[in-house]
Chains A and B, each alone.
Chain A
Amino acid sequence: MTDTTAQDFKHLALTLAGAQRSVPWLDTLRFEGTEQWLEAQWPSRRTELWKYTPLASLQRGQFASWGSAQAYTLADDALLTLDAIRLVFVNGEYDAQASTGDAAGVVRFSKADAAQQTFIEAHLGKIVDTKRHLFASLSNAWTQDGVLVHVPKNTKLDKPIYVVHISTPEAEAAIANQRVLVILEESAQAELIEHFVSSEQPQNGFVNSLTEIQVGANAHLSHYRMNLEEEHLIHIGGVHINLASNSQYQGFTLAEGSQLKRIDYQICHKGKGAHAGLNGVYLPRNEHLLDYHTNVEHEAPHCTTSEVFRGIIADSARAVFNGRIHIHPDAQKTLAELSNKNLLTSDKAEVDTKPELEIYADDVKCAHGATVSQLDQDSMFYLQSRGLSEKQARTMLSFGFINELLQDLPQQAVREHLHRHLSLLFAKDKFAS
């Protein structure tokens, strides 16, 4: 069998789009997406946004169909235990039994009434900038079901929204398109947790996910996004956020690696006085390829951004981090900070990190930095001098390196879940040697 070429994947994607059940009121977006997908250049090593992230494993995947709701078994404690509005999807199909169902402000596209359809049409695909995001075009072309979270003015959702995407292997490799649209009106408040997991068997699927978020004036969103799938799953995901004046977005993202995982965050400060906080952790091991691209557009004055990403790269894995902050001419009095720190735990591990600062306003304060380091020798000695073995000390320090971003997470269920999950992962030594 020979590798399918890039063109083949592009056409395969469209063939699969044609195989979807028709959702007439979403057709316009699907057509636009299809056109952009067809016109777009397939990334090569010369494509800046994909320079270190070859798509070979995606091109090799013989994706034959859309995912279907398979029976699945997850590891114990794979999901969060919390009182939430829970929507569970299995290979892209809604799992009514595992879900709490739609609730006030939360509805699936497929269940939307006429007014909600109009609302979705008005916003879906409008927050994302598809020119920079090839797979967002594909997501538009593949739009079918999805989750709308719409929180009206001055309203606070009393429970978090917990959206779970479960992947399981299928007889023939399948794809899933995951779509979430979040609109917070003025002074609204909500908490969204997106959780990507899989059964423990080797996966053969491809998940394309896209989350669009609009945070209205004075509104506040807490957003967690965890990618904890088995290492064969291919995931390409994007989170695109528009911030109105004096709004706040607090985001946290954590990903384990896989043969190909690429996650983009795009944050646009559209109104003055908005704040965006984004912390992230990436943990590729084995032969994984894990790529985070973040882009913050400061278009309005008096906005602040605080972004911290940390990664531990083990074995022969490769991580890519690209963090761009773009300060437009009108964005005076911007305060923006970006920090990226990496720990390599093997000679064969690799990270390509690139913070980018583009400033076109003269009265701003910006700081950015990236480091690649080893474990601190004084800390090693301190722990060993208390009786810890070298291995124990390494594990403890590596975990501490990322735990700095985990320990203060306000959502207890997420914090405890990650602490437990990652303690087990670190106990396997991958991130310590």
Chain B
Amino acid sequence: MLDIRNLNARVEETEILRGLSLSIEAGEVHAIMGPNGSGKSTLGNILTGRPGYEATSGEIEFNGKNLLEMGIEERAREGLFLAFQYPVEIPGVSNMEFLKASVDARRKHLGLPELSSFDFMKIARETSKRVSLDAAFLKRGVNEGFSGGEKKRNEILQMMLLEPSLCILDETDSGLDIDALQVVAAGVNSMRNADRSFIVVTHYQRLLDFIIPDYVHVLAGGRIVKSGGKELALELEAKGYSWLEGEVA
């Protein structure tokens, strides 16, 4: 599914990722944890192609294709999805029209016919119910005036509608109360299947009580310094990150 080999990346002039390697197979859930500033968010931004983030060396293969050569929208249409830590508010752009345009783009790429407005609206309403987002939010501007929790649920709603093959959740738990966290986790868990993979980026172990990962990686100093099973998250919760600092080159 995804193969990252010896990736170096920078944001403007600052080198953030230094020799990161990570391999993810279809159906797996990988948690990436690490202290602030370790490069967790940079990884998501590099994978999605955010302007200003530049891979200086290394390779990323996604579904057998060279990801770094693909444009932002191509990656999305190919099945890569990032649930943003801070989704932007876009007043004036209707959430419904935006969602339909993105689903249409993905379906077109997959060779599927466009959904009629009526069919799409029906699906969008049903899906918004699954993430406990009132259907009225579909008519508002994209994330306009949404609370932090509503924005995160809108991200999960988009993920469900787009049915990506690789989902990156960037600190989706930040700013969520326990109820919202459970809604988000239930949404993610309902999407887990043998063909879909997840990268769950988080600072805290809490989210991983609800989304049980297959692997846990610790990112520090721009590379993965330790990998293990889900029990590694508990160990990190108990000991913090400082005991791993010796591992950082």
Map CB proximity to B onto A406-431 as digits: 1 under 8 Å, 0 otherwise.
Answer: 01000000000000000000000000
Q: Which residues of B contact A164 (CB under 8 A)?
A: none
Complexed CA–CA distance, A402 and B71 (Å): 28
Q: A387-B109, A403-B93 are in contact. Are A382 and B73 (CB under 8 A)?
A: no
Complexed CA–CA distance, A383 and B158 (Å): 12
Q: Which residue of chain B is the closest to A392 with respect to CB atoms?
A: B101
In contact, A403 and B92 (Cβ under 8 angstroms):
yes
Q: Is residue B16 within 8 Å, beta carbon to beta carbon, of the partner chain?
A: no
Q: Which residues of B contact A386 (CB under 8 A)?
A: 76, 98, 102, 105, 158, 162
Q: Which of A376, A386, A389, A397 has the most CB of B within 10 A?
A: A386
In contact, B50 and A381 (Cβ under 8 angstroms):
yes
Map CB proximity to B onto A382-396 as digits: 1 under 8 Å, 0 otherwise.
Answer: 111111111010001
Residue A388 contacts which of B50, B91, B92, B102 (CB distance < 8 angstroms)?
A: B102
Shortest distance between the CB of A420 and any CB in chain B (Å): 13
Residue B72 contacts which of A379, A384, A397, A407 (CB distance < 8 angstroms)?
A: A384
Q: Which residues of B contact A77 (CB under 8 A)?
A: none
Q: Is residue B82 within 8 Å, beta carbon to beta carbon, of the partner chain?
A: yes
Complexed CA–CA distance, A43 and B50 (Å): 51
Q: Is residue A378 within 8 Å, beta carbon to beta carbon, of the partner chain?
A: yes
Shortest distance between the CB of B70 and any CB in chain A (Å): 12
Complexed CA–CA distance, A432 and B158 (Å): 24
In contact, B92 and A402 (Cβ under 8 angstroms):
yes
Complexed CA–CA distance, A402 and B97 (Å): 15
Q: Which residue of chain A is the closest to B161 with respect to CB atoms?
A: A386
Q: Which residues of B contact A407 (CB under 8 A)?
A: 92, 94, 141
Q: Is residue A89 within 8 Å, beta carbon to beta carbon, of the partner chain?
A: no
In contact, B98 and A396 (Cβ under 8 angstroms):
yes
In contact, B93 and A396 (Cβ under 8 angstroms):
yes
Q: Is residue B90 within 8 Å, beta carbon to beta carbon, of the partner chain?
A: yes
Map CB proximity to A onto B88-108 as digits: 1 under 8 Å, 0 otherwise.
Answer: 101111100110011001100
Q: Which of B75, B87, B92 has the most CB of A within 10 A?
A: B92
Complexed CA–CA distance, A381 and B71 (Å): 11
8 A Cβ contacts from A348-380 to B? 376-379
Shortest distance between the CB of B92 and any CB in chain A (Å): 3
Q: Is residue A9 within 8 Å, beta carbon to beta carbon, of the partner chain?
A: no
How many contacts between A and B, using CB within 8 angstroms? 76
Q: Is residue A401 within 8 Å, beta carbon to beta carbon, of the partner chain?
A: yes
Q: A386-B158, A387-B102 are in contact. Are A378 and B91 (CB under 8 A)?
A: no
8 A Cβ contacts from B22-44 to A? none
Shortest distance between the CB of B53 and any CB in chain A (Å): 10
Q: Which residues of B contact A377 (CB under 8 A)?
A: 51
Q: Size range of the interface on B?
A: 20 to 34
Map CB proximity to B onto A159-194 as digits: 1 under 8 Å, 0 otherwise.
Answer: 000000000000000000000000000000000000
Q: Which residues of A contact B162 (CB under 8 A)?
A: 386-387
Q: A377-B51, A387-B77 are in contact. Are A400 and B90 (CB under 8 A)?
A: yes
Shortest distance between the CB of B149 and any CB in chain A (Å): 18
Shortest distance between the CB of B168 and any CB in chain A (Å): 10
In contact, B73 and A390 (Cβ under 8 angstroms):
yes
Complexed CA–CA distance, A377 and B50 (Å): 10
Q: Is residue A404 within 8 Å, beta carbon to beta carbon, of the partner chain?
A: yes
Residue A404 contacts which of B50, B82, B92 (CB distance < 8 angstroms)?
A: B92
In contact, A385 and B92 (Cβ under 8 angstroms):
no
Q: Is residue B84 within 8 Å, beta carbon to beta carbon, of the partner chain?
A: yes
Q: Is residue B48 within 8 Å, beta carbon to beta carbon, of the partner chain?
A: yes
Q: Which residues of B contact A401 (CB under 8 A)?
A: 92
Q: Size range of the interface on A?
A: 20 to 34
In contact, A383 and B98 (Cβ under 8 angstroms):
yes
Residue B91 contacts which of A382, A387, A400 (CB distance < 8 angstroms)?
A: A400
Residue A385 contacts which of B48, B90, B101 (CB distance < 8 angstroms)?
A: B48
In contact, B92 and A400 (Cβ under 8 angstroms):
yes
Q: Is residue A399 within 8 Å, beta carbon to beta carbon, of the partner chain?
A: yes
Q: Which residues of A contact B48 (CB under 8 A)?
A: 385
In contact, B76 and A397 (Cβ under 8 angstroms):
no
Q: Which residue of chain B is the closest to A403 with respect to CB atoms?
A: B92
Residue B73 contacts which of A388, A397, A404 (CB distance < 8 angstroms)?
A: A388
Q: A377-B51, A387-B106 are in contact. Are A382 and B101 (CB under 8 A)?
A: no
Q: Which residues of A contact B141 (CB under 8 A)?
A: 400, 404, 407
Q: Which residues of A contact B91 (CB under 8 A)?
A: 400, 404
Shortest distance between the CB of B123 and any CB in chain A (Å): 16
In contact, A379 and B88 (Cβ under 8 angstroms):
yes
Map CB proximity to A onto B178-201 as digits: 1 under 8 Å, 0 otherwise.
Answer: 000000000000000000000000
Q: Which residues of B contact A378 (CB under 8 A)?
A: 88
In contact, B88 and A389 (Cβ under 8 angstroms):
no
In contact, A382 and B92 (Cβ under 8 angstroms):
no
Complexed CA–CA distance, A381 and B90 (Å): 12
In contact, A382 and B77 (Cβ under 8 angstroms):
no
Shortest distance between the CB of A418 and any CB in chain B (Å): 13
Q: Which of B49, B102, B106 has the most CB of A within 10 A?
A: B102
Complexed CA–CA distance, A402 and B105 (Å): 24
Complexed CA–CA distance, A384 and B142 (Å): 14
Q: Which residues of A contact B101 (CB under 8 A)?
A: 388, 392, 396
Which positions in A face B, CB cutoff 8 Å? 376-379, 381-390, 392, 396-397, 399-404, 407
6 inter-chain pairs at a CB distance below 8 angstroms, sorted by A residue, are: A385-B49, A386-B105, A387-B102, A388-B105, A389-B73, A396-B97
> 12 additional contacts, CB 8 Å, given A383-B102, A387-B105, A400-B91?
A377-B51, A382-B90, A382-B142, A385-B48, A385-B49, A387-B73, A388-B98, A388-B102, A389-B73, A390-B73, A392-B105, A404-B91
Among all A-B residue pairs, the 10 with the closest Cβ atoms: A400-B92, A387-B105, A400-B93, A386-B102, A404-B92, A387-B76, A403-B92, A384-B72, A387-B77, A384-B73
